[in-house]
Structure 1
Amino acid sequence: MPEKHLYEYAIVRVVPRVEKEEFINVGVILCSIQQQFLKCAIRLDKTKLQALDPDADPDTIQDHLNAFIRICKGEKAASPIASQNTASRFRWLTAVRSSMIQTSRPHPGLSHNLEETFKALFEAYVGAY
């Protein structure tokens, strides 16, 4: 039987009007420190965004979400944070913040296949992967 790997994941959310605390799930970040695995995928549903805030700028929000992906991948040009190790990048990406882009608290789990687990989490919380 394949070994199970400990992982943590968080849901990426867009909160267009922070004072209202309404949000839509737009992505998932999954990290397994033992496996040096860090993955993030994002899908911004512009219809849902406009329903929460008709004045929201989806292009600007998408740019900020793309920065999450670049930092997750370790693209050094994206930010000095991208140069850090897997665990540090995950902790930075999931740090509590009161901005338009937030994450849930990290949740732990065990997985035989991190890619499949990532896909299942994305489909459960965001939609088709």
Structure 2
Amino acid sequence: MPAPSSFDYAIIRVVPRVEREEFLNAGVILYCLTHRFLDARVTLDLARLEALAPGAPGDLLREHLETIPRLCAGGRKAGPVGQLPQKERFHWLVAPRSTMIQTGPVHAGLCENPAQALEHLMRCMVHPLPRAP
């Protein structure tokens, strides 16, 4: 069994009214140097967004969220940021912002498979919790 590798991750937040500091978790960015892994998963629950901020531009926010996995993948289609090395792309993506799409603080973890860790974080931190019976 391989030894676990360290990784860094940040939760992607949608902050429809920045001045209110209320947010909705909408994705996860995960970087693992050992596995040369940088990826993100995003989703936007429009019903939850509407409950938090009636009239928020859900389609526009979703469109901007969908650029994050492309930036993680890198390459020419990802523009100038996509040309940066993985580590620099991660740091650019998680840099503090005061816009409608932000990331929370960077946290660390250990994993054997970064893709599985990313899916686990999505389930635990982004997808809605099941309702109590």
Q: TM-score range by the shorter chain?
A: over 0.9
- SS of 2:77's equivalent in the other structure is coil
The alignment covers a number of residue pairs equal to: 128
Moved over 3 A (4+): none
Pairwise CA distance, 1:116: 1.6
Uncovered stretches (5+) of structure 2, i.e. residues with no partner: 129-133
Tell me which residue corresponds to 1:97: 97
Pairwise CA distance, 1:68: 1.1
Residues in 2 aligned to 1:41 and 1:121: alpha-carbon distance in whole angstroms: 10
Tell me which residue corresponds to 2:70: 70
State whether residues 7 and 31 of structure 2, in contact with CA within 8 Å, keep that contact through their aligned partners in structure 1: yes
Residues in 1 aligned to 2:25 and 2:126: alpha-carbon distance in whole angstroms: 6
- State, as a whole percentage, how many aligned pairs show the same letter: 42
State whether residues 18 and 99 of structure 2, in contact with CA within 8 Å, keep that contact through their aligned partners in structure 1: yes
Tell me which residue corresponds to 2:10: 10
TM-score, length-scaled by structure 1? 0.94
TM-score, length-scaled by structure 2? 0.91
Uncovered stretches (5+) of structure 1, i.e. residues with no partner: none
State the Cα RMSD in Å: 1.2
Equivalent residue letter for 2:57: D
Equivalent residue letter for 1:106: V
